[in-house]
Amino acid sequence: MMTSIAVSVVGLRKRYGRTVALDGVDLDLGPGVTGLLGPNGAGKTTFLRTVATVLAPDDGTIRLLGEDPSTAAGRHAIRTRLGYCPQEPGFYPGFTTFDFVDYVAILKEMTDRRARHDEVRRVLGLVGLDEVSGKKIRSLSGGMRRRVAVAQSLLGSPDLLVLDEPTAGLDPEQRLRFREILSRRDPGQAVVLSTHQTEDVAALCQRVVVLHGAKVHFDGTTAELAGVAHDRVWRAGGPDPTARVSWIDATGQYRHVGDPPAGADLVEPTIEDGYLLLVGAAAHAPAVPETGPEAEVA
Ligand code: ADP
Cα–ligand 1 centroid distance for 20 (angstroms): 8
Cα–ligand 1 centroid distance for 46 (angstroms): 7
Counting ligand 1 atoms within 8 A of each CB, the residue from 12, 16, 47, 164 with the most, and so the one to mutate, is 16
Q: Which pLDDT score, from 0 to 100, does residue 283 have?
A: 52
The pTM for the full model equals 0.91
Q: Are 16 and 174 in contact (CB under 8 A)?
A: no
Tens digit of each residue's pLDDT (9 = 90 or more) over 190-213: 999 999 999 999 999 999 999 999
Euclidean distance between CA atoms 225 and 47, whole angstroms:
21
- Which positions of the chain have pLDDT values less than 50? 1, 284-298
Euclidean distance between CA atoms 210 and 273, whole angstroms:
13
Residue 12, φ and ψ in degrees, nearest 5: -70, 125
Cα–ligand 1 centroid distance for 5 (angstroms): 27
Closest CA to 236 of 212, 260, 271: 260
Euclidean distance between CA atoms 172 and 261, whole angstroms:
37
Closest approach atom of ligand 1 to CA 214: 10
Closest approach atom of ligand 1 to CA 14: 12
Closest Cα to atom 7, ligand 1: which residue?
Answer: 45
Q: Which pLDDT score, from 0 to 100, does residue 280 have?
A: 82
Euclidean distance between CA atoms 212 and 210, whole angstroms:
6
Q: Which pLDDT score, from 0 to 100, does residue 185 have?
A: 86
Cα–ligand 1 centroid distance for 159 (angstroms): 27
H helices of the chain, where?
A: 44-51, 72-79, 97-107, 113-126, 142-153, 172-183, 198-204, 222-227, 271-283, 291-297
Euclidean distance between CA atoms 46 and 38, whole angstroms:
12
CB atoms within 10 A of CB 202: 17
Q: Which pLDDT score, from 0 to 100, does residue 295 have?
A: 38
Q: Please list every protein residue whose CB sits less than 6 Å from any atom of ligand 1.
A: 16, 19, 21, 38, 40-46
